[in-house]
Amino acid sequence: MSDLKKERNAFFDELVENGLFIPTGVAGFYGRGGAFEDVVRQFGLLVGQYSESDGAERIFFPPLVQKTTLERAGYMETMPHLCGVVHSFSGDEGEHKKLLSAIKEGEDWSGFLEATDLALTPAACYPLYPTASGTLKEGGRLVDLDAGYVFRREPSEDPARLQMFRQREMVRMGPPELVQEWRGVWMERGESVLRSLGLDVVVEVASDPFFGRGGRMLSASQKQQELKFEMQVPIVSREHPTAVTSFNYHTSHFGETFGILSNDGEYAHTACLGFGVERIALALFRRHGMQPTRWPSSVRTLLWP
């Protein structure tokens, strides 16, 4: 076993022993203990102070998205391998008997289900865009989506790679210069917040994990245009830090797709930022130890003011 894998496993075991993660038998799907959730919640309050002082609207979605939104936004084109579509049973009693007999025989029973009009959302902001169609008021919009759950189908033994996790996400929509300015402000704030919590931050131009050969070209273009930045901090390993925050500039992609216009009549530009709150909590437990009561007072004062 590689050293990295050994470190991963040891860290996972430590999380479990301290009641921070509760294994379920499925890789990337764990319960969280109370002390873990407290850190998640307090980090959210810390970040929320900024969006409150920016006068952000607050809108929250359950972790769903219309399947048509994923289709329209091109998600099935670029990241089909991460999607989770909700299938359900709408058969009659005869079908139900066959379904139960398939379960009893240990057979695949997915054929008795049908796709619904819903998927699990892969980013907290997706359900927002179609609700924003129309013309924005002057200055555009700023929305704080709080910590929404998102789903990405990538089972992994890495405790920092979860199938369902929360993104503290914010979205800015409006004319390009306002959107870019907002992203710039938050990149400074984000780095400063993470550093103030004692985390070593590396800022990188990044790309999304697009699918297939076409995806590699998309990634190269995304990097070249500097559309995505990530902040990475050590979780499992110092040498291979993990992305905990991303800052994404979509240019007019969502504006054109969902008919969102700035008040000058041009397609609105959009940007979003997402703090991966479970990863940030993991980084803090890794850096400062498994007992938050023993974390440095500078960190505790920020999180529990």
Task: Return residues touching a copy of itself (CB under 8 A).
Answer: 22-26, 29, 31-34, 36-37, 57-64, 66, 71, 76-77, 80-90, 93, 96, 99-100, 103, 108-110, 113-118, 120, 127-128, 130-131, 146, 149, 151, 153, 162-165, 211-213
Whole-angstrom Cα distance, residue 137 to residue 139? 6
Q: Between 127 and 175, whose beta carbon lies closer to a copy of itself?
A: 127
Q: Strand pairing partners for 273?
A: 170, 247
Which residues are CB-neighbours of 260 under 8 A, at least 6 positions away? 129, 132, 133, 134, 136, 173, 254, 267, 268, 270
- Phi, psi at residue 170, to the nearest 5°? -130, 150
CB of 83 to a copy of itself, least distance (A): 6
CB of 229 to a copy of itself, least distance (A): 27
Q: Between 87 and 240, whose beta carbon lies closer to a copy of itself?
A: 87
Q: Between 59 and 203, whose beta carbon lies closer to a copy of itself?
A: 59
Q: Between 147 and 197, whose beta carbon lies closer to a copy of itself?
A: 147
What are the tokens at 42?
């307090």
Whole-angstrom Cα distance, residue 162 to residue 30? 8
Q: Between 41 and 287, whose beta carbon lies closer to a copy of itself?
A: 41
Q: Between 177 and 213, whose beta carbon lies closer to a copy of itself?
A: 213
CB of 166 to a copy of itself, least distance (A): 8
Cβ(101)–Cβ(91) under 8 Å?
no
What are the tokens at 276?
């991966």
CB of 176 to a copy of itself, least distance (A): 26
CB of 192 to a copy of itself, least distance (A): 25
Report how far apart, in Å, the C-alpha atoms of 45 and of each of 35, 42, 59, 271 are: 16, 5, 16, 22
CB of 79 to a copy of itself, least distance (A): 10
* DSSP state string for 119-157: EE-SSTTTTHHHHT-EEPPTT-EEEEEEEEEEE-----S
CB of 97 to a copy of itself, least distance (A): 9
Whole-angstrom Cα distance, residue 210 to residue 80? 9
Cβ(152)–Cβ(83) under 8 Å?
no
Q: Between 213 and 294, whose beta carbon lies closer to a copy of itself?
A: 213
